[in-house]
A and B are shown apart, each in its own frame.
Chain A
Amino acid sequence: AQSVTQLGSHVSVSEGALVLLRCNYSSSVPPYLFWYVQYPNQGLQLLLKYTSAATLVKGINGFEAEFKKSETSFHLTKPSAHMSDAAEYFCAVGYGNKLVFGAGTILRVKS
């Protein structure tokens, strides 16, 4: 069965610092992987997705994620955090016709 583990329910970084949000997945087939972001009072917005075309995936707002099969990981990074990045981030794996989500990581950006 597919599953997703996001390490750290809360992550706090200083403005300008590196953002690293961790995601490990379990999948019995080659995975389709996604990162979504939810800003306060808004819906889930797709940041990026991996569909086996390239292991390093670039998304919106300066985020990127690297697919590492040997580590079953799909960590999300951004070189320099901005206050506007404060939100909840969800990693998900595609399974059939559905998305299987991790528990989410709340990112706090300190000024």
Chain B
Amino acid sequence: EAGVTQFPSHSVIEKGQTVTLRCDPISGHDNLYWYRRVMGKEIKFLLHFVKESKQDESGMPNNRFLAERTGGTYSTLKVQPAELEDSGVYFCASSQEPPWPGGTDTQYFGPGTRLTVL
């Protein structure tokens, strides 16, 4: 079974440009999550999809970030326009069931996309 995949693995862009990150979750996983790790900091939650619906986007930094999940399959995270502080590693994760409350399903992570904004 294929794991969570992310594309690209690395992206280097200039400040003010637009970048789109893609995540393909494990097949059959309704829950999809985006996290971000800024250099030297903790990995932080950005948002959670259940199928194609945004369940929780409380971690999104600002309105320059737009996440979509077309048809409840893959997801994209667009940053427009990118700023220097957006640099970091963006992780995607998926799970079959919501982990809490009640369930204890594991979130499976992809390898991440390293974004560098110059």
Beta-carbon contact of B56 and A98 below 8 Å: yes
Docked pose: A83 CA to B55 CA in angstroms = 41
Q: Does B109 contact A (CB under 8 A)?
A: yes
CA distance A32 to B93 in the complex (A): 17
Does A42 lie at the interface of the complex (its beta carbon under 8 Å from any beta carbon of B)? Answer: yes
**B40, B44, B93, B109 pick with most chain A CB within 10 angstroms:** B109
B104 within 8 A of A: yes
* CB atoms of A43 and B112 under 8 A apart: yes
With known contacts A98-B45, A101-B44, A103-B42, A43–B3 Cβ distance under 8 A: yes
Contacts of B41 in A (CB 8 A): 103
Could you tell me if A42 and B55 are in contact, using CB atoms closer than 8 angstroms? no
Residue of A nearest to B33 (CB): A98
Contact yes or no, A44 B109, CB < 8 A: yes
* Neighbouring A residues of B91 by C-beta, 8 Å: 43-44
Interface size on B, residues (CB 8 A): 28
> Complex Cα distance A100/B109, Å?
14
Can you list, as one digit per residue, whether each of B79-118 has a CB less than 8 Å from chain A (1) or not (0)?
Answer: 0000000000001010000111000101111111000000
Q: Does B12 contact A (CB under 8 A)?
A: no
Instruction: Decide if B48 is an interface residue (CB 8 Å cutoff).
Output: yes
Q: Give B residues with C-beta under 8 Å from A.
A: 3-4, 31, 33, 35, 40-45, 48, 55-56, 59, 91, 93, 98-100, 104, 106-112
Could you list 23 A-B pairs, sorted by A, with CB under 8 Å?
A: A32-B100, A41-B111, A42-B111, A43-B3, A43-B4, A43-B91, A44-B43, A45-B109, A46-B108, A51-B104, A92-B43, A94-B100, A97-B31, A97-B55, A97-B56, A97-B99, A98-B33, A98-B56, A99-B45, A100-B42, A101-B35, A101-B43, A103-B41
Chain A positions within 8 Å of B, measured between CB atoms, are 4, 32, 36, 41-46, 49, 51, 90, 92, 94-104
